[in-house]
Each structure stands twice: as structure tokens, then as C-alpha cells.
Amino acid sequence: MVLTKGDIINLNNLKLLIASYTMIFLILSIWINSYYYDCFTLIFPLIFIVLISYSFIEIKIQERICFKNCYFISNSFFAKILSSKIFTIVIYFIASILMSISTLYAVIGFSKTIWLYLTIHIALSTLIYKYLYIKLATTIKPNYQALFAREWTINITIPIIIIAYIYIMINDFEPTYLKESLKETWSVASNSIYSRCEIVNYFLKLQREVDSIFWWIMDNGTEHIKNRVLNISIWFSFLFINSFAILGVNRFIVQVVYLVDKIFNRRYDL
């Protein structure tokens, strides 16, 4: 049996999808099932931070170099600042830490519905990435083809995952720590998450306590607040805090697809 070019492409896409599923769920599941152990579990947040920061830094360095070459005289003071890799790495590494902390906390409390949606989202992200990668072959230079496909995939899938997350949170999820009083809710929420690693324990408890306050206000307080604008503001504040986690999950998924695809392409080139 002779495989056609189309069969080979479909087979490679299937391999990419399976490998991406494996990497994404392996990293997240190990974290979820080990965060409460000793500080050796910090290796998984570190992996997550490296992946997220690399996805930012790689594109931003290229953007700064292009911007410098277009508008500034070579070797001028501003040209050197704009093209400084250290400055770019520090800024986006800090941003990636904040996004990663929020994401790693959020995945611990994901409902079955959210996990089910993520399986669909991974497949969708993979298909969009491969479609853009092929379409950009006649437009973008080969060195930047995968990079542009990744960034455009991230931008396209962001509104999709945000809408899905908001719908699920409003209609299909309510934390078990919600009680009648705010003090009891806060106390139960704080005690519902624990890690033997002090650093991990501190950030997880802090995030859980903040979430518990917002959930109690939305579940109990908004019924007694007649101001519609204030009610909407409370919801948007809660969604804004959680948006870092959703943006992080989305970028993590697409980044894994991008890296796995690069590994496969390099192997095929060899």
C-alpha cells in the first residue's frame, strides 16, 4: 500500500495531536496529584514557567529586533536597549511567573466539564495551528512560519476558551467550600488546600482565600445588592482575576503543540 501526500500529512497531524495530548495531560496531571508533597514538586511549576516565558520571549525578541532595524540607527543607545535580550527576558519572565501561578492554582480545581472542554480545545488548537502553518508557507519566511502560526493560533483561540470558561463557571460550577457566612467560607476554603512545601502552600492558600471571598459575594452578596452596575463589576473583577489562568492554559496548550511540531519537523528533516 502506497501512502499519498495527503495520507502522510493526516498521519503526521494525528501523531502531533496524540503527542500534544500526552505532554499536556502528563504535566498537568502530575502537578495536580503531587502539589501537596514536598518542594520537589516545584519542578513542575518551573517547567510550566519555562514553557510560558519561552513562548513570550521568543516572539518579543524578534519583534524588538525588527522594530530596531526599521526605525533606529544601528548601535545607537535606544537601539541597544530595544534589542537587549536580558531586558526582554526579565520582563516577560516575571509576567510568566504571575500567569503560571494563577494557572497552576486554577487547574487543581477544574471541574470535569472544564477538563472535557480542554480535550476539545487541544484538538481545536492543533488543527488551527497546522492550518495556519500550511497557509503561511507562501507568505511568511520559513524561519518565522511556525512562530507566526503559534501566535495567531493563540490569538484566535483566546476568545473561544474565555467564552467557554465563563459559560462553564456560570452554569456548571460552584465550589464545595461555600457556606452561609463569609468567615466560615473563608476558613473552609483555606483549609481545603494544602501543600507540605511552604512556598506552594502560601500561594495556593492565598489564591483560594481570594476566590472564596469573590464566590461568597457572588453567591450571597449580589442578591442583596440592588445596584446592577456594582453586581456586574463584582463579576468582571472575578473573571479578570481568573483570566490570567485561562490565558495561561491557552498559551501553554499552543506552546506544547508548537514545540512538539518543531521536534517532529526536525526529526523528519534529519
Q: How far apart, in whole angstroms, are the C-alpha atoms of residue 185 and residue 164?
A: 27
The C-alpha cell of 55 is what?
A: 513562548
Per-residue cell: 257: 503543540
- Secondary structure letter of residue 270 according to DSSP: -
Q: Which of the four pLDDT bands, split at 50, 70 and 90, describes residue 130?
A: very high
Which amino acid type is present at position 216? W
For 74-90, b where at least 16 C-beta lie within 10 A, e where not — what string?
Answer: eeeeebeebbeeeebbe
Contact 83, 222 (CB under 8 A): no
Using only C-alpha atoms, the chain has a radius of gyration, in whole angstroms, of 21
Mean model confidence pLDDT for the chain: 82
DSSP code string of 81-149? HHT-HHHHHHHHHHHHHHHHHHHHHHHHT--HHHHHHHHHHHHHHHHHHHHHHHHGGGTS-HHHHHHHH
Given a contact cutoff of 8 angstroms between Cβ atoms, the answer to whether 205 and 193 are in contact is yes
Q: At 197, which amino acid appears?
A: C
pLDDT higher for 175 or 4?
Answer: 175
What φ, ψ does residue 2 adopt, rounded to 5°?
A: -100, 125
- Over residues 198-226, the pLDDT tens digits come to 888 998 898 898 888 878 877 776 555 56
| The model's pTM | 0.86
Checking if the pLDDT of 270 tops 50, the result is: no
pLDDT at 224: 58
Q: Are 35 and 195 in contact (CB under 8 A)?
A: yes
- Enumerate the domain spans of the chain: 5-269
